Copies of this chain bind each other. A is one copy, B any other.
Amino acid sequence: MLEVSIVKRLGDFDLDAEFACETHGVVALFGRSGVGKTTVVNALAGLVRPDSGRIAINGTTLFDSSQGIDVPPERRRIGYVFQEARLFPHYSVRGNLRYGLRRAPRGEGAIDFSHVVELLGLEGLLHRRPRDLSGGERQRVALGRALLANPRVLLMDEPLASLDQPRKDEILPFIERLRDDLQVPIVYVSHAMDEIIRLADTLVLMNAGHVAAAGPVEDLTGRLDLRPLTGRYEAGAALPAAVVGHEREYGLTQLGFAGGVLRVPALDLPIGAQLRVRIRARDVALALRPPEECSILNVFQGTVAEVGEDGGALVDLRLDVGDAPLWARITAKSLAELGLCPGRKVFAMVKAVAVDRHSLGRRAANARFVPAGASLPPDAGSGD
């Protein structure tokens, strides 16, 4: 459990943040610039002292103004990847990396130096000074430094913002592995819903110094009332799923979820592996009859459950597909022409391509979702 309930005044800015959530997996802090994300994370690390309140992680109280508890940062064992890299200018890259390593408790879950170096592509940089690094290189070193300190909890404040997509794609699985294999809980600040969906189990939505909502990513990203905070572009359903089969000849993997089986480009995961699949509303098309001779592999039969009122050119619809909610975004023109309204039966078409690596997150290792469709034959999706 991560329990945060703090009040802090900074100039004109009032932070009054309260949330509690599970710490297995990744907790994402999401919110607009200046809402107080960094301040919350600083308080967790012990770098900002709240005016009052309480912070506890897994039952250990780190701060409690009423009891006068304030564990110093170095004894919190909380790793921190800062928004600005904050590398030590007087150490080489190697020295920076070894700084936390030397002080880390040995054994138990410790990460290998050479492993981190290889993973973050730092081999050629070990002898450099921080000022001789590019922006992205700096952030990679900062990431490695925090990891090597073998933290109990890892705080990451927009760690990937200055990295290019291929590098992000390389590092994200590593963070996932940290989370899953090493069971390091991560508090992750990001503006990129992609990353959050992929990594996070829990989402803490912040707005103007307050926590607007906190809960499972699946729940919050599906809620229409939170759209102003989560962002319209990013709207969609995040669904728990499990690997139910592979179609090796075509390099596809079948994912069972409450609404059926989804085919996606092959995942190197065993059957039964737990995932979160994000299907963005913008990637779902609707048809009144099953499409024929069409490249769209995933077609699900469902019912229109709710039609959003957006007033613009685009309309969001919630569908019930089996037991799963699915969101579709179509034009108002199509809505009118197809005559869609709640209760109407439709076919939802989801391109296999649209469900790409960025939309798939491995769920925390202790998540257990057994899809209803797990017993279905591999081909039991509603046609293709």
Contact = CB atoms under 8 A, between A and B. Distances in A.
Contacts of A83: 135, 162
A384 interface: yes
Interface in A167-211: 167, 191, 193
B252 A33 contact: no
A285 interface: yes
Interface in A306-339: 312-314, 328-338
Contact of A251 (B12, B157, B332, B358): B332
Interface string A273-304: 00000000011011111011111110000000
Contacts of A33: 134-137, 140, 162-164, 167
A265 interface: yes
A261 to B, nearest CB: 14
Nearest to A192: B165
Contacts of A296: 285, 334
Contacts of A329: 353
B231 A166 contact: yes
Of the candidates A83, A136, A252, the one having the most CB atoms from chain B within 10 angstroms of its own CB is A136
Contacts of A331: 250, 252, 263, 265, 295, 297, 352-353
B313 A166 contact: no
A118 to B, nearest CB: 16
A352 B282 CA distance: 9
17 contacts: A32-B167, A83-B162, A84-B84, A135-B158, A165-B191, A165-B233, A250-B313, A250-B331, A250-B333, A251-B312, A282-B354, A285-B294, A294-B349, A297-B334, A333-B384, A334-B352, A334-B384
Given A32-B164, A252-B333, A283-B354, 18 more contacts: A12-B124, A33-B137, A33-B162, A34-B133, A83-B135, A135-B158, A165-B233, A166-B231, A247-B333, A250-B332, A250-B333, A263-B331, A282-B351, A285-B295, A285-B351, A288-B293, A297-B333, A314-B352
